[in-house]
Amino acid sequence: MPYEFLDAQHNRIVVALRPDSVAVSINAVPSYSFDLGGRLIGAFVAGRSYRRTLDNRVVERRWHKPPDEAGPVRELPPAEARAFLEQTYAAMTALRRSLDAGEWQPLPPLLAGEGQGGGLPPLSATGEGWVGVARRAFDLIQQQSPAGLEADAQRFRAIYKPIAILPPDQYRALVLQATEGCAYNRCTFCHFYKDITFHRKSLPEFRQHIQAVRDYFGPAIALRRSIFLADANALVIPQRPLLALLDAVHEAFPIAPADLAGGDLVAWRAAHPGGFAGLYSFIDAFTGRRKTQDDFAALRARGLRRVYIGLESGDDALLDFLGKAGSAADAVQVVTTLKAARVAVGVIVLLGVGGERYAEQHIAHTVEAINAMRLGRGDIVYFSEFVDWPGSEYAQRAAAAGIVPLSGEQVRAQRAAMQAGFAFPDPAHPPKLALYDIRRFVY
């Protein structure tokens, strides 16, 4: 629960020591959050939101930017990022000093149902009291420092190849890289894995990787809710070695069995603190066809809960222009097989790709493909606005073909037209429809 104090300067300070993180705020803003290893997770300062990546970059998000400023997401230059981290940890040190100096007065709680008579909430289970809990929170934060974060980032980079992208619902997953890079890596629109040689880890390599990940995160692993088997299409691994890798995951981490719900799931979580909701991964359409319903059912029995597939478009001519292997029918087949095995899916659609030339057929054929997949509860359709990275092969092809990009209004209209055409088998329990802005991803 949060503990609230008033310091000598009449600042209202809230300290929340949670099972998976620590949060501190001063007069509501600024506010900061840290993992249990003292790593800054994020902050809200002066109307701007900041996220720190595990490789020690700082990304700024501006919710209300002036019209003459750059887009809503900006990575701070190294010197600016370092200054931000120094200011953050200096602020935490100053708060701890004023706490230790006895300058903090506990305030009655504002939580509903507590402190109705003006009394303080119960002390912690350890009997240490409000100030003791706040000290323990700052002890966790002060495990780190700006210099320590850079050393920590070097450890992270030694364990992981760059984690290029995750689906939005998996941003807080524990990533295990069974593969590195992309087995295909020839899509003209994708820049994520261009400089990474594809590598499939052997079972001994993967076991070492798992142990290194466990050691790196330590108690901060509590912040991770699920496990993402990376990278771009880890399920390309043939079935027998893939099952062995998943068995290694189970040896290291508790994963909730399939079909647990209600009281049974609550009881399992109580018996397995730090347990994970399941395994998640990407798949591609043309290699995914090789796996059968029985294959996916065996993966589900080992924790696979949702698989994400980049449909991009239901139009085969546009897919060919994008250099994407496989067809829309291949994607429909893979999704159908996954759902027959009772594995949920996340289907990614690119908005605006192909510009005006392909717009009409992109809408029509994408609607056909999505409707053929018979999606429902537990599934997700992600709309990802196409980002034309400078110098990409797509940009070169589009320029040579005279393709005119869509305006922002046209992109929004394209999404609306697709949604209007979707028809799901059970209208009472449709899939979730959500936006997927790849520029906002941090890990």
Summarised one tens digit per residue, pLDDT across range 158-189 is 999 999 999 999 999 999 999 999 999 999 99
- Amino acid 391: pLDDT: 78
pLDDT band, very low/low/confident/very high, at 63 (cuts 50, 70, 90): low
Instruction: Lowest mean pLDDT of 77-81, 254-258, 387-391, 402-406, name the range.
Output: 387-391
Is the alpha carbon torsion for 77, 80, 83, 87 positive or negative?
negative
**Average pLDDT, integer, range 267-289:** 92
DSSP H/E element including 141: helix 129-141
Rounded distance between C-alpha atoms, residue 421 and residue 360, angstroms: 13
CA-to-CA dists, residue 127 to 114, 135, 155, 158, 282, angstroms: 18, 13, 37, 41, 47
- Amino acid 128: pLDDT: 63
Instruction: Return all residues near 385 (Cβ < 8 A) that are at least 6 apart.
Output: 350, 351, 352, 411, 435, 437
Q: Is the pLDDT of residue 302 over 90?
A: yes
- Amino acid 194: pLDDT: 86
Top CATH class of 160-440 equals: alpha beta
Percent share of the chain, pLDDT over 90: 83
**Domains of the chain by residue range:** 2-146, 160-440
Is the alpha carbon torsion for 347, 353, 358, 360 positive or negative?
positive
Q: What is the pTM of this model?
A: 0.92
Per the structure block, which two tokens stand in for 278? 């399941």
- Amino acid 402: pLDDT: 93
Question: What pLDDT digit, counting tens, does each position of 307-354 carry?
Answer: 999 999 999 999 999 999 999 999 999 999 999 999 999 999 999 999
- Amino acid 130: pLDDT: 84
* 181 dihedral zone (left: phi>0; alpha: psi -120 to 50; beta): left
Rounded distance between C-alpha atoms, residue 10 and residue 103, angstroms: 10
Rounded distance between C-alpha atoms, residue 199 and residue 328, angstroms: 27
| Separation of first and last alpha carbons in the chain | 26
According to DSSP, the residues that pair with 369 across neighbouring strands are none
Rounded distance between C-alpha atoms, residue 369 and residue 75, angstroms: 37
